[in-house]
Every structure is written in C-alpha cells, then in structure tokens.
Amino acid sequence: MEALSFGFMQRALITCVVVCAVAPLAGAFVVQRRQSLIGDGIGHVAFAGVGLAFLTGTSPLLGAMAMAIIAAVVLFRLERRGRLGGDLSLALIFYGGIALGYLFSQRAGGGLNSVVGFLFGSPNNISWSEVAAITALCAAVAIVVTALYGPLVSISFDEAAARVSGVPTDAVMLALTVVVALIVVGGMQALGVLLIAGMMVVPVAAASQLARSYRSTMLGASAVGVLSAVVGVLVAYYADASTGASIVLTAIACYILATGLRAVRRRYPVQGG
C-alpha cells in the first residue's frame, strides 16, 4: 500500500494502533464507574503541561506527564475526601488546564499555534524515539491493568463490597487514575488531549453492545480501537483530513454499527440447536 511506504505514515500507524489498543483497557473500568469524563479533565491539565514545557524549553512529553499525574492525584484526593463533588472537581480541572495551557504557550511566544498539534493530534510529526516512548507508556499501562484486573473489576462493580473483602480500594483507584493520566500523555501527540479520552470510552461503548462478558467487552473494545486506528489513519491520509478526528469518528461509526447489530440480534434471535 502506497501510504505505508512513507516513514511518517509507518510511525503514525504504529503509534495510533498502540494507543488505541490500550486506551479502552483502562476505559472499560472508567466507563463502568461512570467517570467517562475523567480523561478529558486530566487531558486539559496535560495541555497546561505542554504549554509550560514550551515556556521553559523542556520536553512537552515530560511536562504533560508531570502535570497529568499531579492532576490525577489531586482529583483522586478531592473526590475521595468528599471536599468537592465529582462534577465540580472536573470543571475546575477542565477550565484551569485550558486557561493555564494557553497562558503558558502565549507567554512562550507562539500562542495557540505552537500547541495545536497537542490539542488535536499530529501523529505524522512523531519521531521514532517518540514512538518508542509512547509504546513504553502504553506497555506500562497494559501491565498495570493486567496485574490489577481482579481488584479493578471488584471496585468497578461494587466498591463497598470490595473494601469489605479486603481490597485496598483507595490504592487501586489511585492506580487507575494514574493509568488514565499515562494514557492521556501517551496519546496526546497521536490523537490530541481533546480527543484521546474518546478512545477510552467509545470503543468500550461499541463492544458492550455485542459482548457477553466483561472480559470480552475489554478485548472487543481493544479490537475496535485497533480497527479505528488503522481505518482512521488511512482515511486521514487519502482524504487529507485530521488523523485524530478520523479515528474517533471511525470508532463512533463502529458504535452505531454495533448498536444496529444488537437490535437485529434481539429482533431475530439465533435459534440454538
């Protein structure tokens, strides 16, 4: 295929596939806990980290990671201590992150133009070293989710029962929040901080329409993420469109298709023999 003969397309495809395969793994737990917007909140603060990195002349990846992890910890502490409602906590992070990101980038002299690629993604500009760093982040996420799968399932379905049974719910929830932050940082160059949260949620919503178990929902969501990444990257290349937007819209199309198939399956159930 002509598109994949170019190095920048190879890097874009690898990065997007890795990110979109891993993001739904953590997203499945976030969706189950009805915290689908947490990725957006952390992403906005990661944007502030990018702006701060431009201002100080450091790595945008490191700046975003530092701010995203801080946001994850602060949000976790606010919610667990009950000092602020979940919606209010997210609102403060949303608006504060965007305001700080723009302020820092403007002070750096580039205004919003210098960070627009981090807002909406710019996978065609990723280097091989950045591909390696993003892949390492996603691998760490996959390892943590696999290692904590049992406790994460427990707190996602019934946190009170999990606590009574001896699950360290606070530690597990903090780990999940930090994992979401790592996904946001890993995916910001591929899909952008404003779109990466969509790949934590939409593939899960699509897979849940047809899956028969929680594990199959997670695996199906990861498969939807990979399919969306491949189709989205190729569509973006041939249609000269935004890669991040193409990927998320492909995932939404998968959700619509899955919803239709579920309706058909309910209307015309397969008769078992």
Mean pLDDT, 10 residues at a time, the chain of 273 residues: 83 95 92 80 85 84 87 77 59 80 78 70 88 92 93 88 87 89 89 88 93 90 96 93 92 95 82 53
pLDDT of the residue at 85: 52
Residue spans per domain, the chain: 2-259
| pTM attached to this predicted model | 0.86
**CATH assignment of 2-259, among 1.10.3470.10, 1.10.730.10, 3.20.20.70, 3.20.20.80:** 1.10.3470.10
Check residue 273 and give its pLDDT: 45
Amino acid, res. 155: I
Separation CA 203–CA 228 (nearest Å):
9
Kindly list the distances between the CA atom of residue 246 and the CA atoms of 2, 239, 243, 252, in Å, as whole numbers in the listed order: 19, 10, 5, 10
Residues 33/177, Cβ–Cβ less than 8 Å: no
Neighbouring CB atoms inside 10 A of 222's CB total 22
CB 8 within 8 A of CB 124: yes
Rounded distance between C-alpha atoms, residue 184 and residue 48, angstroms = 13
